[in-house]
């Protein structure tokens, strides 16, 4: 119970305290499973083929075959790459629609969804599926809420969305479109009808929707919050936008555990982990190892101005199970933060650097105040 309370208060501080209290290279987690706390052991494990012989915990039983998992990852990554120009074009309107004071991280999730809506389900999709996906993005399905009442309400939206997308998947299989127009087409392309049912296709579509929305919107919120807390003056930020994003991904990585269920026992630094146990690597611990990073507890975007002095950096994982869309996610983050800061000054109130356990680690609620440098002139012309 003590560890659960500490985990709720701040999961990143909790895992760091557990690491400091252990002397072994691998530590047993109070809530179950194991975590590699030694950086060198963790890096070796992530490159060890034996560690990757089992399936991904991410897909579970929906798509157990590793080849099918990789195929789906490639299909979604290819779609996102082609969608970057569309996302970039949608950003000005989405940013302009933000009120002068917006509540984050929810506002960031809505912002990202608005720019990705046509990629998730193309505009010609019938049956109200796009509206249900909008509700899912706004109502705690895309990024799981901390609050029980919101999670209960989100389950209702989730059920309706799954039913609608299942029906749409069935329709598209009867009337194939050729080149993928959206993420549902990409999932259908990677999942033949003989192997994957329409319902599972809908589940996988929702899974990929969350896998894109949660890390992008969560990392965007961390970038905004940390940069504003560390630069409170009226002048523009003194860092390159890309450096802010990279440092936020290092300082507060949204995926906090990269785990596998071991298909057989493994000896990790002298500790034998039994078959069937979950063994994880924690990006936060690697990103805050003082042996590899200077001042790891400090938020310092300027460290990325140099190619040297960087320690192990795995915000999206590494090895065979790394995030297929990592490079695209980095691009989306940089483009969005550039649009937010362009010709505007950002400030926050209510900021708290403690992480909240949600769909990974996300910031606690704060208010972003965005003040344009040059407010639009009033239209004084005759009507």
Give the pLDDT score at 188.
94
Q: Is residue 346 part of a domain?
A: yes
Give the pLDDT score at 375.
54
Q: Is residue 378 part of a domain?
A: no
Number of H helices, E strands in the chain: 12, 11
**At residue 307, does pLDDT exceed 90?**
no
Report the domain count for the chain. Answer: 1
- CA 236 to centroid of chain Cα atoms: 27
Question: Are 347 and 232 within 8 A, CB to CB?
Answer: yes
At 60, is the pLDDT very low, low, confident or very high (cuts 50, 70, 90)? confident
Report d(CA 25, CA 107) in Å as an integer: 40
The least confident of 155-164, 315-324, 329-338 is 315-324
CA distances from 172 to 130, 165, 190, 193, 381 (A): 15, 10, 14, 11, 50
Residue 109: closest CA among 209, 25, 201: 209
Who has greater pLDDT, 378 or 224?
A: 224
Find all residues with CB under 8 Å of 49, minimum gap 6, and list them: none
**Terminal-residue alpha carbon distance, the chain:** 67
Give the pLDDT score at 55.
57
Give the pLDDT score at 5.
77
| CA atoms within 13 Å, Cβ hemisphere of 331 | 14
Report d(CA 276, CA 84) in Å as an integer: 40
User: pLDDT for 134-173, tens place per residue?
Assistant: 999 998 888 877 766 777 888 999 999 999 999 999 999 9
Block residue for tokens 């494990």:
45
Report d(CA 80, CA 95) in Å as an integer: 20
Q: Which two tokens stand for residue 136?
A: 């899912």
Question: Are 145 and 158 within 8 A, CB to CB?
Answer: no
Who has greater pLDDT, 176 or 1?
A: 176
Give the pLDDT score at 145.
72
Block residue for tokens 């440098």:
373
Who has greater pLDDT, 109 or 320?
A: 109
At 383, is the pLDDT very low, low, confident or very high (cuts 50, 70, 90)? very low
CA distances from 126 to 90, 168, 183 (A): 22, 8, 15
User: pLDDT for 185-233, tens place per residue?
Assistant: 999 999 988 889 999 999 999 999 998 898 999 999 999 999 999 998 8
Give the pLDDT score at 49.
81
Q: Is residue 82 part of a domain?
A: yes
Give the pLDDT score at 126.
85
Angle between helices 183-190 and 148-174 (to 10 degrees): 70
Q: Provide the residue range defining the domain that includes 265.
A: 2-372
Q: Mapping DSSP to helix (H, G, I), strand (E, B) and coil, where does residue 199 land?
A: helix
Q: Is residue 172 part of a domain?
A: yes
Q: Is residue 382 part of a domain?
A: no
Q: Is residue 383 part of a domain?
A: no
**At residue 123, does pLDDT exceed 70?**
yes
At 321, is the pLDDT very low, low, confident or very high (cuts 50, 70, 90)? low
Could you tell me the CATH number of the domain that includes residue 279?
1.10.630.10
**At residue 286, does pLDDT exceed 60?**
yes
Report d(CA 209, CA 369) in Å as an integer: 28
User: pLDDT for 75-93, tens place per residue?
Assistant: 998 999 999 999 999 999 9
Work out the average pLDDT over 301-325.
Answer: 82
Q: Is residue 380 part of a domain?
A: no
Residue 324: closest CA among 201, 183, 150, 221: 183
Angle at the Cα of 243 (from 239 to 245), degrees rounded to 5?
A: 115
Averaged pLDDT score across all residues of the chain = 89
Find all residues with CB under 8 Å of 367, minimum gap 6, and list them: 101, 102, 103, 104, 348, 349, 350
Residue 13: closest CA among 247, 356, 250: 356
Peptide bond into 105 cis (omega under 30): yes
**At residue 291, does pLDDT exceed 70?**
yes
Work out the average pLDDT over 278-300.
Answer: 94
Give the pLDDT score at 193.
83
Q: Is residue 379 part of a domain?
A: no
Give the pLDDT score at 382.
43
């Amino acid at each position: 119970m003590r560890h659960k309370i500490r985990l709720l208060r701040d999961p990143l501080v909790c895992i760091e305290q557990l690491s400091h209290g252990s002397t072994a290279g691998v530590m047993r987690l109070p809530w179950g499973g194991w975590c590699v706390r030694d950086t060198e052991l963790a890096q070796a494990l992530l490159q060890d083929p034996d560690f990757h012989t089992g399936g991904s915990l991410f897909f579970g039983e929906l798509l157990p075959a590793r080849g099918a998992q990789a195929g789906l990852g490639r299909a979604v990554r290819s779609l996102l790459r082609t969608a970057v120009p569309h996302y970039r074009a949608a950003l000005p309107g989405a940013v302009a629609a933000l009120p002068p004071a917006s509540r984050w991280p929810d506002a960031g999730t809505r912002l990202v969804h608005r720019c990705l809506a046509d990629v998730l389900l193309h505009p010609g999709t019938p049956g109200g599926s796009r509206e249900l996906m909008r509700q899912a993005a706004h109502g705690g399905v895309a990024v799981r809420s901390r609050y029980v009442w919101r999670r209960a309400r989100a389950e209702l939206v989730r059920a309706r969305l799954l039913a609608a997308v299942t029906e749409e998947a069935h329709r598209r299989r009867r009337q194939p479109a050729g080149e993928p127009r959206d993420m549902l087409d990409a999932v259908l392309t990677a999942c033949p009808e003989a192997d994957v049912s329409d319902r599972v296709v809908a589940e996988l579509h929702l899974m990929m929707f969350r896998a894109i929305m949660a890390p992008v919107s969560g990392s965007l919120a961390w970038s905004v919050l940390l940069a504003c807390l560390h630069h409170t003056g009226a002048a523009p930020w003194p860092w390159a936008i890309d450096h802010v994003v990279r440092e936020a991904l290092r300082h507060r990585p949204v995926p906090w555990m990269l785990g596998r269920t071991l298909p057989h026992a493994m000896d990790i630094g002298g500790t034998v982990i039994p078959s069937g146990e979950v063994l994880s690597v924690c990006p936060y611990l690697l990103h805050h190892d003082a042996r590899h990073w200077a001042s790891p507890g400090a938020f310092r975007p300027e460290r990325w101005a140099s190619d040297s002095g960087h320690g192990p950096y795995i915000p999206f994982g590494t090895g065979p199970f790394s995030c297929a869309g990592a490079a695209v996610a980095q691009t989306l983050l940089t483009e969005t933060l550039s649009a937010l800061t362009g010709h505007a000054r950002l400030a926050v109130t209510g900021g708290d650097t403690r992480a909240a356990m949600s769909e990974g680690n996300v910031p606690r609620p704060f208010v972003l105040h965005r003040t344009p440098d040059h407010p639009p002139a009033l239209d004084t012309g005759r009507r």
